Amino acid sequence: MIVRELVEAARARAPKVEVAEAVSVSGAIDPDEHLWRSLTRQETRDLPKITHDRSVEVAFTLYQQNPLGHRITELNRDFIVGDGITYTCRNPEVETAVEEFWNDSVNDLDRRIPDFANEFGLYGELCLPVEVGATAGFVRLGYIDPAQIADVLHEKGNPLVLDVVKKRRRLGGSTTEKLDIIRVRSETEGGHLEGDVFFFKTNSVSNSTRGWPDLLHIADWLDAYDALLWEMLERARLVRTFIWDVVLKGYSDAQISEWIRKYGTPPRSGTVRAHNDGETWEAVAPALGSFETAKEAEVLLEHIAGGAGFPKTWLSSAEDVNRAAALEMGTPTVRRLGQRQRQFVALLQGIIRFVLEQAVEAGRIQTEADGLVPAYDEDGEPTEELHKPWELVQIHAPEISPRDVTQAGTLFVNATNALAVASTEGWIGEKTAQDVIAVVLAMLGYEYDPSAGPTDQQDQENAPAPKSSDLETEQEPPSRKDMEEAVRRLTSRIPA
């Protein structure tokens, strides 16, 4: 009773506090609930760091140990680089600066470019630090393994502008150093590239800071295909084995055991075994359904090829595919490879721009007051054209799609026959016919300029006299699309 009285007395002396529920007018628990963000929510569409690091290691393992993964990776590289990537310059000073950078013993781009192209797709990103000479402004490239990249940061508020690479000081370590990504950092200073490292990515979306490996989305399927082939190999070994099943009529268990003791050793090839009708010998082999497994492997290969963006004929599978179908299946792949090649060429152009800007700052390239240099013509004479030094460098990559000479030759024959008929009937003029022939010859790899006219003596003698109508008015040449459509319409009128 005393304790209860003391408690009630304490309650009576305690100040009364009205407690109100923290509910806003809108019904939310907190008035600033719209500002709440989950800890796991990201502004970018990047993989979790642990997952990304793991994907890089998985991609390298597949490239190193999985035959199909190795082939898919190098197919991309082979089509991007082909017989080699070269350059041309329209200014001798610019050409000298590019040549010194290109052929440097460390840069050695003729040898490095295939590796860079391979790793660009293998890891989905390429990170190249630079060293710039303090006096001559000479640029030398380095390399950072993607596993050393702890993070890539973008400019605040704009994930399109990648700003900093956080590089681990040692592989697997936690301490990092920040490297500024080379980009235009101040338009007011002429738009020069500044920074410590080139960083390029592919297989990503606009608001992701990292690239993803080419093999990421098919990694599990490649592993499953590899496991299936090993199972088929084990099955093939078992199929080649067999046992002797011997029926002993009327034998007791003791007699069977005695028989096995005497004759249980399998007979060697070429030996003779004699027995009466009480014994029946039969070789028994397992029926493991190898045909069904082969079809499963074919389906899995088609799935991998489709995911990799290649027709299955490019991955050593020619079953149920003829030449015409194979050519049509290759068209989407050629488009995709062309896009990757253009991306890689743009990457190289960015590097060349940085190299030439450093050469200009060091005084190795003389420019006008506004940083422009003259372009030179084919005879090595300067022209009145003025450009930025890097604008006078053109990167040449091999053609992705080889010319179908047979198809182009057939088109040439049909086109010339059609043009002859069209000229006779008066449907087209001579100049239009020459323009059409130029388009067809371009498909064969021959550059023909119809406006140049005949060049050798025989062509001069056989060249027809120009018509007065052609001399009086100069017609605007038709576009390539119009000429191709004209060839199609004309060839359709000729009987097969």
Contacting residues for 463 by C-beta, under 8 A, at least 6 apart: 453, 454
User: Judging by beta carbons within 10 Å of its beta carbon (0-12, 13-18, 19+), is residue 16 exposed, middle or buried?
Assistant: exposed
Residues 6+ apart with CB under 8 A from 321: 312, 313, 329
Q: 259-267 long-range CB contacts below 8 Å, 24 or more apart?
A: none
Q: By the 8 A CB rule, do 123 and 56 touch? A: yes
Question: Over the Cα atoms of the chain, what is R_g?
Answer: 37
pLDDT score at 490: 53
Res 456: pLDDT: 46
> Whole-angstrom Cα distance, residue 12 to residue 7?
9
Which pLDDT score is estimated for 140? 96
- CA dist 226 and 68 (Å) reads 9
Q: Which amino acid is at 56?
A: V
Q: Tell me if 333 sits within 8 A of 73, measured CB to CB.
A: no
Rounded Cα distance, 325 and 345, in Å: 31
Half-sphere exposure of 336 (CA within 13 A, CB side): 18
CA triple 163-168-172, angle to 5 deg: 140
Per-residue pLDDT tens, the chain, 496 aa: give them: 554 665 566 566 656 555 454 445 555 556 565 555 555 455 678 888 888 999 999 999 999 999 999 999 999 999 999 889 999 999 999 999 999 999 999 999 999 999 999 999 999 999 999 999 988 899 999 999 999 999 999 998 889 999 999 999 887 777 889 999 999 987 655 688 999 999 999 999 999 999 999 999 999 999 999 998 888 888 777 777 778 888 888 888 888 888 888 888 888 887 887 888 888 888 887 776 666 677 888 888 888 988 888 888 777 765 665 555 555 566 788 888 999 999 999 999 999 999 999 999 999 999 887 889 999 988 889 999 999 999 999 999 988 865 555 566 677 778 888 888 888 878 888 788 888 888 777 766 667 777 765 554 344 445 455 444 444 444 455 555 565 565 555 555 444 4
Q: Measured between alpha carbons, how far is 458 from 375 in angstroms, rounded to an integer? A: 37
* Residue 229 near residue 300 (C-beta atoms within 8 A): no
Q: What is the 3-state secondary structure (H, E, C) of the chain?
A: CHHHHHHHHHHHHCCCCCCCCCCCCCCCCCCCHHHCCCCCCCCCCCCCHHHHHHHHHHHHHHHHHCHHHHHHHHHHHHHHHCCCCEEEECCHHHHHHHHHHHCCCCCCHHHHHHHHHHHHHHHCEEEEEEEECCCCCCEEECCCCHHHEEEEEEECCEEEEEEEEEEECCCCCCCEEEEEECEECCHHHCCCEECCEEEEECCCCCCCCCCCCCCHHHHHHHHHHHHHHHHHHHHHHHHCCCEEEEEECCCCHHHHHHHHHHHCCCCCCCCCCCCCCCEEEEEECCCCCHHHHHHHHHHHHHHHHHHHCCCHHHHCCCCCCCHHHHHHHHHHHHHHHHHHHHHHHHHHHHHHHHHHHHHHHCCCCCCCCCCCEEEECCCCCEEEEEECHHHHEEEECCCCCCCCHHHHHHHHHHHHHHHHHHHHHCCCCHHHHHHHHHHHHHHCCCCCCCCCCCCCHHHHHHCCCCCHHHHHCCCCCCCHHHHHHHHHHHHCCCCC
Rounded Cα gap, residues 487 and 54, in angstroms: 54
Nearest alpha carbon to residue 228 among 238, 220, 240, 217: 220
Q: What are phi and psi of 192, to 5 degrees?
A: -80, 150
Nearest to 375 by CA among 361, 359, 394, 395: 394
**The pLDDT of residue 65:** 93
Among candidate residues 350, 47, 386, the one with its CA nearest the CA of residue 208: 47
pTM for the full model? 0.69
**CA 201, CA 210: separation in Å to the nearest integer?**
6
The answer to whether the CB of 112 falls within 8 A of the CB of 191 is no
